Amino acid sequence: MKNENLKIKNLQKEFKGGDTTCLELTERLLKKIKEKDGEIKAFLEVTEEMAVDQAEKIDKEGGFEGLKGIPVMIKDNILVEDVKATAASKMLEDYTAPYDATVVEKLKEAGVVILGKGNLDEFAMGGSTENSAFFPTKNPVDTEKVPGGSSGGPAAAVAAGMVSASLGTDTGGSVRQPASFCGVVGFKPSYGKVSRYGVIAMASSLDQVGPIANSVEDVTKIFNVIKGKDEKDATSVSRKSDFSKKEIKVGIPKEYFVEGVNQKVKETVEKAIGKIDSAGMKTVKISLPHTEYALACYQVIMASESSTNLARYDGIRYCSKNDQGKSGKMKDAYIKNRSDFGDETKRRIMLGTFALSSGYYDDYYMQAEKVRELIREDFRKAFEDLDIIITPTSPIPPFGIGEKIDDPLSIYLADMFTVPANLAGLPAISIPCPTDGLPVGIQLMGERFEDEKLLGIAEKIEKIIVK
Amino acid sequence: MFNEEDILKIADLAHVSLRRGEMKSLKKDLSKILNYVEKLKEVDTSEVDFESISPIKNRIRKDEVVDFKKSKKEKMVGIEKNEDGYFEVGRI
């Protein structure tokens, strides 16, 4: 497998055996980034000095266990103290993070080496990383294609072997879809399992931080470090699940294999399901009847929450334009200061503002929240009798850069299989399937808070499908 | 479908301004998305009890001041204008 030598287990072996030091590895990767990232453009910033200091410190300490010495990238909407956090927006171009996000604090305590910040669609809004205010990222598998999004930088950096792992955020598939497009593993934990403190908010009832890496084992190792209750995020919990069951029952929802799903994606995922079945896991056809409405429901809730969260970029609380406008009135100053949002961000702010506005609130926002409950109910019923649900991660393979930029709705449709897990707060993971062409990911969803169980099953399935 | 008047009203509520020539594309794109989300109205939600959705309880903690690791002054680094530990913003 590609990037085998950057897997956590193998790096630890090298560190322990004295084959390489953390500093040597860090410098080797920094060199690789210089050579390769001019084309891929996964990094918004390379934190070279900080990385070298950290690597030297780690070599002095020794004791290579867990994540110690592992090179990682952090998506640029997650705060790393004293490093810029732009969320790929002009609005935050000059913003330097005054503190570490809880997930970053935990990773630093575990001894990782942060090599830099990852590119994304502005404020994590998009599915191709083309909405970055600075530059688009290319897919390392095929540089004519998008890497997916919004965590396109973090997925591309792992796929290109520039880091071992990265942290992304997933509001509607932003970890899983780019992982699928770049042929790596991406995991979105249950809502509440990982603290969102220090993560630039998009849609607060959907956002979750998740790891991207070269294997299920590696995302599990990172998840185990970043998870847990945090006093600074009131929605975080410390629940844990066990995985000891021998017989595993897998649900295959018919609504995820409908017309409109790319033929190649369908065939690849069905082939993988065939192998899973032959390996002794019981696969059953199921129905999740409200799937058809999930994307519309997501659009309304995501846009509403985003428009509220992004109200803070007004030049007073955030972004330093300080333009007073001509009239000297507060509102004119706001409007003036908010002129740097990109097209996609503006569309979502406007759609959300509309959905929450007087006279439309009941028909759109309220109705979407009710439909969301029906989607949750679909999953609750299904999991009464199942351990996991399997679907394609994305209905389409990676598309060409610039191919869909003029048709926002067509990019939204690429999220249709990933948004249900966010709406219901479920853990979900994308694992690459073997293909002879562009990468295809298979998605496994588990019951809420049963993350450890899902990851346990995912590790088994990862081995089964490559055979 | 949104008309120009709707777009202007929403932009005003959202505190955003329209760039030159942006009206046409915003009208088209937002109408297309609105048209797509209209399908939510097909769903019968009469049985959904909104009050029972996500039984969330407030989590109370002690109201104690926790200081940043670094001093306030150090944290002002990167803020263009500041004085005596306060942010300086434009006059409104």
B44-73 per-position pLDDT tens digit: 999 998 666 666 677 787 888 877 666 555
The reported pLDDT for the residue numbered A410 is 85
Tokens of A284: 């059953």
The reported pLDDT for the residue numbered B12 is 96
ipTM metric: 0.91
Q: What is the helix (H) or strand (E) element at residue A350, kind and residue range? A: helix A343-356
The reported pLDDT for the residue numbered A318 is 78
Pairing of strands A165-169, A113-118: unpaired
- How many other β-carbons are positioned within 10 Å of the β-carbon of residue A466? 13
Could you give the CA distance from residue A195 to residue A237 in angstroms, rounded to a whole number? 9
Confidence band of A337 (pLDDT split at 50, 70, 90): confident
Pairing of strands A282-286, A388-392: unpaired
Tokens of A259: 């017309």
The reported pLDDT for the residue numbered B76 is 58
A354-391 per-position pLDDT tens digit: 999 999 999 999 999 999 999 999 999 999 999 999 99
Could you give the CA distance from residue B5 to residue A465 in angstroms, rounded to a whole number? 54
Which of the residues B6, B32, B33 would you substitute to probe the A interface, choosing the one with the greatest number of A C-beta atoms within 10 Å?
A: B33
What value does the mean pLDDT take over residues A417-432? 98
Could you give the CA distance from residue A179 to residue A139 in angstroms, rounded to a whole number? 11
User: What residues in A contact B10, CB-CB < 8 Å?
Assistant: 350, 353-354, 357
Is A278 catalytic? The answer is no
The reported pLDDT for the residue numbered B5 is 96
What value does the mean pLDDT take over residues A74-102? 94
A288-324 per-position pLDDT tens digit: 999 999 999 999 999 999 999 999 998 777 776 666 6
Tokens of A243: 């995985």
A380 touching B, CB under 8 A? Answer: no
What value does the mean pLDDT take over residues A78-88? 96
Chain A nearest CA to B84, separation (Å): 17
The reported pLDDT for the residue numbered B70 is 60
Could you give the CA distance from residue A175 to residue A227 in angstroms, rounded to a whole number? 16
Q: Please count the residue pairs, one from chain A and one from chain B, whose beta carbons lie less than 8 angstroms apart.
A: 131
Tokens of A50: 């900080």
Residues in chain A, how many? 467
Which of the two residues, A441 and A94, has the higher pLDDT score? A441
Are the C-beta atoms of A342 and A87 separated by less than 8 Å? no
- Show the DSSP H helices in A237-366 as ranges: 263-278, 291-309, 330-337, 343-356
Tokens of A21: 């030091």
Which of the residues B16, B24, B52, B66 would you substitute to probe the A interface, choosing the one with the greatest number of A C-beta atoms within 10 Å?
A: B16
Are the C-beta atoms of B15 and A310 separated by less than 8 Å? no
- How many other β-carbons are positioned within 10 Å of the β-carbon of residue A254? 12
Mean residue pLDDT across chain A: 95
Could you give the CA distance from residue A88 to residue A186 in angstroms, rounded to a whole number? 21
The reported pLDDT for the residue numbered A323 is 63
Tell me whether residues A293 and B39 touch, CB distance under 8 A. yes
Taking 60 as the threshold, does the pLDDT of residue A444 lie above it? yes
At the top level of CATH, the class of A4-244+397-406+427-466 is alpha beta
Q: CA A113 → CA A57, A81, A107, A199, distances in Å?
A: 10, 14, 9, 19
Residues in chain B, how many? 92
The reported pLDDT for the residue numbered B80 is 60
Question: Amino acid identity, residue B12?
Answer: D
Percent of chain A with pLDDT over 90: 86
Taking 80 as the threshold, does the pLDDT of residue B88 lie above it? no
